[in-house]
Amino acid sequence: MATDSLEKVTKLAKSDTKRRYDDACGLAHALELIGERWAMLIIRELTYGSKRFSELRADLPGISANVLTQRLTELEERGLVRKLRLPPPASVQVYEATPWALEAAPVIGKLGKWAARSPLHDPTLPLSHAAIMMSLQTMIDPGRAQGIEGCFGFRFGETSYSAELRNGELHVERRLADSCDVVMTTTPEGLAAVIYGGAPLESLKLEGDIDLARKFVRLFPLPEKVAWAHPSY
């Protein structure tokens, strides 16, 4: 068994020769694992639970079916994604992130926060529900959140999430908990408009503790934009 595993790893390493950096640094190898276009976004989409191929296509509107298939195959070969079939009555094939891949999720979130400082970032582009939930987990200000606790529910069409706020941290699950203090029904873009764009809270459909919801949406300050002179040619 060990020999078979070694042969598989060796064969995979040879197949990825064109993408290797020939650099012993772990960062270089991280880029070999998830540095291909779309790879990190696929892991982002699978952070909160498994998804069908069609769901991934819908949540990543810029990716083609062929490229998505290729990336999923590569991530599966690298031990970051696995395929499984849900039990009846669903009986459909889904993809899920492995525990090792999920260890990268906070890093991917932090990378997004870093990039939000770019003047070139366009927050008006489409946003998936996994993306906005990862954004909330990453952008929350622990200082502002001191003394504020509760369970916050989010309904995005047929998909719901719960975010438990404790000690300045958000713990997110892809389900609507019975214990939610407030539930917000909207779209990912609608929630982002309220939290980051200053849109009125009343633009969301709210159920539960409205005052708590008002406090919640103020916990996510945007990082200051980098000042730089765009080169002229």
List C-alpha distances in Å: 20 to 23, 34, 61, 69: 8, 12, 28, 21
The tens digit of pLDDT for each residue in 112-142 reads: 999 999 999 998 899 999 999 999 999 999 9
Q: Kindly indicate the confidence band of residue 1, based on its pLDDT and cuts at 50, 70 and 90.
A: very low
Per-residue pLDDT at 165: 98
Residue 161 has a pLDDT of: 98
pLDDT band at 162, cuts 50/70/90?
A: very high
Q: Quick check: 91 pLDDT over 90? A: no
Residues 6+ apart with CB under 8 A from 151: 162, 163, 164, 165, 177, 179, 180, 181
Asked whether residue 10 carries a pLDDT value surpassing 60, the answer given is no
Mean pLDDT of 174-195: 97
- pLDDT at position 228 is 80
Give the pairing of strands 81-85 and 159-166: unpaired
Average pLDDT, whole number, for the chain?
92
Q: Full-prediction pTM beyond 0.85?
A: yes
Q: What is the residue-wise DSSP string for 24-58?
A: -SHHHHHHHHH-STTHHHHHHHHTTS-B-HHHHHH
Where along the chain do its domains lie?
19-104, 116-216
- Our CA angle for 31, 123, 220, nearest 5°, is 90
pLDDT greater than 70 at residue 107 = yes
- Using 50, 70 and 90 to split pLDDT, how confident is the model at 4? low
Fold match, 19-104 / 116-216? no
pLDDT of residue 232: 67
Amino acid present at 194: V
Confidence of residue 159 (pLDDT cuts 50, 70, 90): very high
Higher pLDDT, 208 or 87: 208
**Quick check: 48 pLDDT over 60?**
yes
3-state secondary structure at position 88: coil
Give me the sign of the Cα torsion angle 141, 157, 72, 98: positive
pLDDT category at 6 given cuts 50, 70, 90 is very low
Look at strands 150-156 and 182-185 and give their pairing: parallel
Cis peptide before 106 (omega within 30 of 0): no
Give pLDDT, residue 19: 75
CATH of domain 19-104: 1.10.10.10
Q: Decide: 217 and 186 in contact? Cβ < 8 Å.
A: no
Confidence (pLDDT) at 13: 53
What CATH code is assigned to 116-216? 3.30.1050.10
Residue 195 pLDDT > 50 = yes
More confident site: 50 or 10? 50
